[in-house]
A and B are shown apart, each in its own frame.
Chain A
Amino acid sequence: MQTTTDHLTPEAAQTFLNMLPDKIRLGLLTYAAQIEQPIEAVIEMAIAGFLDEDSISFTGCRPMAGMNFSRKAS
């Protein structure tokens, strides 16, 4: 998947979105409309927040921060 600097491009986000099950795609699109953010930002927020609950973008994400794994991603 293509990224520019540290962020998903709209094209990459759309490609990813098209590969998801309908209900997941619809859920992400509905959420994006609800919070008035572009879909690429919402996908980035979802992934970053899963890996680090105190982040909302890839830039601020510290993967697995705060999780009790002995080996952390670098």
Chain B
Amino acid sequence: MSSRLMPLWVRKMSEALREEAREILETLSMTSFENCYPLSRNFEVVPSDPGFYAFRHRRNGILYIGIGNNLRRRFRGGHKALSWAFVDRLNSEDVRIVAVEMGQRTPQEVEYIETRMIQIARPSYDTRMK
């Protein structure tokens, strides 16, 4: 549907979510690398809350953007981005995780925002069709 044919409230909601996507992406991108969560075996320091996350490389920026119900558990089970980083011979000290809580957003809003962020940032390890 053309955006001009959408009801006004749908357009306003979409605009608000797009703005949120930009803000969250900025947080994921701009948080100081030293303030991101370092990789570890059990990811004890990563929040167990639902939310957005990104794998960041110290110099190459965002490698992957995702969402999860429980971020700590998501990484403990292994993650494709870490496998790819290993294959690409990235130094584990140069890869970190940055997270933003889901907050009061609905699951559908979170998925919309995730899709929007992937479309904007096009992370190299994010191969899912969004």
Q: A46-B69, A49-B69 are in contact. Are A56 and B128 (CB under 8 A)?
A: no
Asked if B68 is an interface residue, CB under 8 A from chain A, the answer is: yes
A-B contact count (CB 8 A): 47
Residue of A nearest to B104 (CB): A36
What is the bound-complex CA distance between A44 and B110, given in angstroms?
Answer: 14
B67, A54: Cβ atoms closer than 8 Å = yes
Chain A residues with CB under 8 Å of B103's CB are 36
Q: A35-B49, A35-B50, A45-B50 are in contact. Are A57 and B68 (CB under 8 A)?
A: no
B74, A53: Cβ atoms closer than 8 Å = yes
What is the bound-complex CA distance between A66 and B80, given in angstroms?
Answer: 10
Question: Counting chain B CB atoms within 10 Å of each CB, which of A35, A48, A66 scores highest?
Answer: A35
Chain B residues with CB under 8 Å of A54's CB are 66-68, 128
Asked if B102 is an interface residue, CB under 8 A from chain A, the answer is: yes
A56, B77: Cβ atoms closer than 8 Å = no
Asked if A60 is an interface residue, CB under 8 A from chain B, the answer is: yes
A53, B104: Cβ atoms closer than 8 Å = no
A residues touching B (Cβ–Cβ < 8 Å)? 7, 35-37, 41, 44-46, 48-49, 53-57, 59-60, 66
B residues touching A (Cβ–Cβ < 8 Å)? 49-50, 66-70, 74, 77, 80, 102-104, 106-108, 110-111, 128
- Complex A-B: 27 CB contacts under 8 Å: A7-B108, A35-B102, A36-B104, A37-B102, A37-B104, A45-B50, A45-B107, A48-B107, A49-B68, A49-B69, A49-B70, A53-B68, A53-B69, A53-B77, A54-B67, A54-B128, A55-B67, A55-B111, A56-B50, A56-B67, A56-B68, A56-B110, A56-B111, A57-B111, A60-B107, A60-B111, A66-B80
